[in-house]
Amino acid sequence: MNIIKLNAIDSSNSYLRMLCSKKTIEDLTVVVAKHQTNGRGQMGTVWQAEQGKNLTCSVFKQNDCVSIDNQFYISMVSSLAIIKTLQNFQLPKLYVKWPNDILSEQKKICGILIENIIKNNDIEGSVIGIGLNVNQTQFRHLPQASSILNLTGRWYYTDEVLSALLKNLKHYFLQLNHGKHASIKRAYEALLFRKNKPSTFKDVNGKMFSGYIKGVNENGNLQVLLEDGLISEYAFKEIQLLY
């Protein structure tokens, strides 16, 4: 396992993708940055983190057994690995806010950005960017954010958290390699935030509606039971969970 530690970088995902384009990368190669000047989240958002207080890293994972049609399993496995890691650190009430924000006590504690490397319509590998709030205590203008320290009262070495995370990533990807798709999907769905609870959503046109989260399909689309009794499926950019 190759761990590359950097004091500062614009984006660990961008750096790791650059390495992949230049040479063959060892499976589970990790780029860890104390500070990211342009950390990226889903849909072009910026990931904010105080220097040296959090775990900001990107992991390269070979995914020659995952098809493009099943690529959401990479997200599910990554979410499960992070949840398992946080359980080991005694984080309370852990959930996945679809598709892959990790919540504890309804506060966002971790974000994931997955960028697949695709050649000839096959996934050769994935760059899994992880921003995990560890020892930061203040989050300006981010009232829904928190950290391991805030939620447990305990300070942790980020290297300790990374070691546990890599162990769990390896475990869950091994399950995926062994074809444990059904059990992975069940475990992920069991952790969905607000599953089977009345929730309010907003669609791309700004229209608000109510429904119940029931699960995800094989492509990762969210399945929502609507008031008319029908289940509709929504892609990531088609719907937003409000509460």
pLDDT more than 70, % of the chain: 95
Looking at residues 11-19, what average pLDDT do you find? 94
Confidence of residue 49 (pLDDT cuts 50, 70, 90): low
**Structure-derived torsion over alpha carbons of residues 147, 56, 185, 119, reported in degrees to the nearest 10:** 160
Looking at residues 195-215, what average pLDDT do you find? 97
What number of helices (H) and strands (E) belong to the chain?
5, 12
C-alpha angle 163-45-38 in degrees, rounded to nearest 5 = 65
Looking at residues 114-132, what average pLDDT do you find? 93
Does residue 127 register a pLDDT over 90? yes
pLDDT more than 90, % of the chain: 81
Q: What is the pLDDT of residues 215-235, one digit of tens each?
A: 999 999 999 999 999 999 999
Q: What's the pTM? A: 0.93
59 within 8 A of 169, measured Cβ to Cβ: yes
Show the 3-state SS of 79-141: HHHHHHHHHHCCCCCEEEECCCEEEECCEEEEEEEEEEEEECCEEEEEEEEEEECCCCCCCCC
Looking at residues 126-150, what average pLDDT do you find? 95
- For 3-37, letters b (16+ CB in 10 Å) and e give ebeeeebebbbbbbbebbeeeebeebbbbbbbbbe
Measured between alpha carbons, how far is 128 from 168 in angstroms, rounded to an integer?
Answer: 14
Residue 35 CA from chain centroid, whole number: 19
Which domains does the chain show, CATH number per domain? 3-190 (3.30.930.10), 198-241 (2.30.30.100)
**Beta pairing partners, 14:** none
